Amino acid sequence: MEGDAPIPPRNGEGDRAKRGGGVFATTRKTIELARRERRSGNLPEVVLWRALRTRPGGFKFRKQHPIGPYSLDFACLSARLAIEIDGEVHGRGDRPQRDEIRDSRLAQSGFRTLRIPARDVLNDLDAVVRAIVEACKAGQPLHHPSDGPPPRAGEVFGEKP
């Protein structure tokens, strides 16, 4: 039967097995935690999410996004920026050391962490959103193509069909 021939991959798929992984590899436990936290956000997170949902500066944000063993309060994946809203508990006990370890592990994955005190979100939301947009801009690539996407495989740059 002709079914013995391998099925060619669909557009965009390579010959590698789909395993997920890379920077965004995470566990089912972390995903469930993120889902639970999305539903039960605290007031500063709810207020900030209302502002970030409008895509300020043209940036898309995710709420309670799981990366590795962590669930980020907010993330801008295009700028590789993790945004954490820190309440008073982040200054107590071993929490500062745990936050430092978390930030360094995220940095190893290419993410910068912006920590914002919860009181700042409640006191001056506009300034917080401006700071987030500036941090996102700082994480963007320096060079953007001005005349469209790069040529496809087999095409010669600048040649018109």
For 35-93, the pLDDT digits (tens) are 666 566 688 888 999 999 999 999 999 988 888 788 888 999 889 999 999 876 655 56
Structural domain boundaries of the chain? 24-138
Q: What interhelical angle do 43-52 and 125-138 show, nearest 10?
A: 60
Q: Report CA dihedral (54, 56, 57, 63) to the nearest 10 degrees.
A: -90
What is the structure's pLDDT at 133? 95
Report the distance separating Cα 121 and Cα 130, nearest Å: 11
Report the distance separating Cα 158 and Cα 113, nearest Å: 40
Report the distance separating Cα 75 and Cα 64, nearest Å: 8
CATH H superfamily, domain 24-138: VSR Endonuclease (3.40.960.10)
Cβ contact 71:101 at 8 Å:
no
Length reported for the chain = 161
Q: What is the pTM of this model?
A: 0.64
What is the structure's pLDDT at 37? 62
Mean pLDDT of 24-39: 63
